[in-house]
Structure 1
Amino acid sequence: MIDLALIGIGTGNPDHLTAQAVRAMNQADLILLPRKGDAKSDLIDLRRTICAQLLTAPVRVVEFDLPVRGAGGDYLGAVHDWHAAIAAVWQTQIATHLPHGGQLALLIWGDPSLYDSTLRIADRLMQAGMDVAVRMIPGITSIQALTAAHAMPLNRLGEPVTITTGRMLRAHGWPRDAGTLVVMLDGNCAFATLPPDGIAIWWGAYLGMAHEALIHGPLAQAGPRIAAERAALRARHGWIMDIYLMRKEQADAS
């Protein structure tokens, strides 16, 4: 039996981990840390820092190379193939380091329930016949970190919030009847495809980290600033994690 704990670690700041998350880390027999290549070395470094600061028990920490997702072609097909490759790597690591079972922990950016596929990949282990019990420890989401950084509420009074991706925004535009829109996983500044009049944007990158960057303002003025700052930050660090919230103006913005 493999007891698989998916632990939300927020945006990589050790202060973002809950007491429950720290306890789960220290109860593990093995923590697997994925390496994503030299261009994203900061990501593995953040996970290493979390382990160094928060582990007080003699937990084994093993790093592995994460498969690369195929580019181009059918997006969903490429994602499914990528998930299958990751599940295969997990199986190899489990067979090597936990051949007789035990408690395995994975450190998940943000919260494992929000635009993260770790749960779906874990399902592949069970479909392959592995005896796996999955439990999830919630973490601070990038949405929470963004609204906290800008000191703002997520929703307007009595209004719903729509969460989408950059790919969907670019393909379909502003969702119908959405007053507040949160956009995640946007690698190409999809906000630039929108008519900017009457839209305000709150953007953040590397939230909760020492090099956190924030921009807010009318989309017409803030959009080009965000695009330029995003490109500069990505060139400087080799990777970027960002998110933004947009709102349309209304007569009563209470």
Structure 2
Amino acid sequence: MKTLLIIGIGAGHPEHITVQAARALGRVDVFFLLDKGEHKGKLNALRRDILERHTTPGAYRVVEVLQPERPAGSDYRASVDVLNTRKRAVFEQLLDDEVADGECAGVLVWGDPSLYDSTLRIVEAIAADGVRALDYEVFPGVTSVQALTAAHRITLNSIAGAVQITTGRRLAAGMPDGVDTVVVMLDAQDGFLALLGENLDIYWGAYVGTVDEVLLSGRLDDVAKMIVQARQEARRRHGWIMDSYLLRRRT
């Protein structure tokens, strides 16, 4: 039997990791680090920093592989399915080639494995197909939503108010009915611009928890252009951007 630990490591700060997750790190014989390319090298650098802080040197080995890219195309769901199929093949090869029977492998997942991440679904499918004797455990982490609200010193919900987590693509249809707070993730097109004039506040953050953190907030109509400019500058400077934001109806 092989074991795989799926460990949430928080949204960017090396101290976001929980005590439970830190203990789980100590059980791992081999860590899989999926490299997203030169521009995103800081992501694996942070992963290695976490390992140095919370594990015993020499007690584990690291295998770093290039993560497959999502193919281009207008059908987003289909392209994600292709990406996850490619990721699954990578995981299966790593489990076959790098993990001996009785050993424990670990995957460090940004934020929490249950929120907008495919790792858990992929591993669940691998374990369910019966080809490999694989057990897996999941350790929660600080989500990007928690990091964002903490950075802005706000609550996630208003009193007795409903919250919805969505994507920039879905935001194009407008604020959902019956919801006064929306958290938006995976928005590459500045979807909040479609909601100007709707009496909303926005709390935006990029690279939250890291040394590159950028925060902006205020009435959406007043700060939207500033956020667009900040996103463009951040992407130009770093080659990539990892951001999210919260929209709330003004009272």
Q: Fold-level match, TM-score > 0.5?
A: yes
Give the drift of 1:53: 2.1
Name the structure 2 match of 1:113. 114
> How many residue pairs were aligned?
249
Name the structure 2 match of 1:242. 243
State the distance in 1 between where 2:170 and 2:2 align.
36
Give the drift of 1:196: 2.9
- Residues 201-223 of structure 1, C-alpha deviations (whole Å, 9 max, x = no match): 00011111112110011111111
State the distance in 2 between where 1:120 and 1:22 align.
23
Name the structure 1 match of 2:15. 15
Query: CA contact under 8 A between 2:2 and 2:100: conserved in structure 1?
Result: no
State the distance in 2 between where 1:116 and 1:196 align.
32
Q: Which amino acid aligns with 2:19?
A: A
Query: What's the TM-score once normalised by structure 1's chain length?
Result: 0.94
Name the structure 1 match of 2:187. 186
- Residues 89-138 of structure 1, C-alpha deviations (whole Å, 9 max, x = no match): 11111111114242111000001111111111112312442222221101
Stretches of 4+ aligned residues off by more than 6 angstroms = none
Give the drift of 1:52: 2.0
Give the drift of 1:2: 2.0
State the distance in 1 between where 2:210 and 2:196 align.
32
Pairing 1:22-171 to 2, within 5 Å after superposition: 22-56=22-56, 58-128=59-129, 129-170=131-172
SS at match of 1:52: helix
State the distance in 2 between where 1:139 and 1:219 align.
30
State the distance in 1 between where 2:216 and 2:107 align.
32
- Residues 227-247 of structure 1, C-alpha deviations (whole Å, 9 max, x = no match): 100110111011111110011
State the distance in 2 between where 1:134 and 1:21 align.
14
State the distance in 1 between where 2:200 and 2:12 align.
30
Query: What's the TM-score once normalised by structure 2's chain length?
Result: 0.95
Give the drift of 1:17: 0.5
Q: Which amino acid aligns with 1:39?
A: H
SS at match of 1:88: helix
Q: Which amino acid aligns with 2:17?
A: L
Name the structure 1 match of 2:2. 2
Query: CA contact under 8 A between 1:12 and 1:47: conserved in structure 2?
Result: no
Q: Which amino acid aligns with 1:74?
A: D
Coordinate RMSD, CA, aligned: 1.3
Query: CA contact under 8 A between 1:6 and 1:134: conserved in structure 2?
Result: yes
Q: Which runs of 5+ in 1 are unaligned?
A: none
Query: CA contact under 8 A between 2:162 and 2:178: conserved in structure 1?
Result: no
SS at match of 1:211: coil
State the distance in 1 between where 2:2 and 2:70 align.
26
In structure 2, the CA distance between the partners of 1:116 and 1:246, relative to structure 1 (3 Å rule), is same
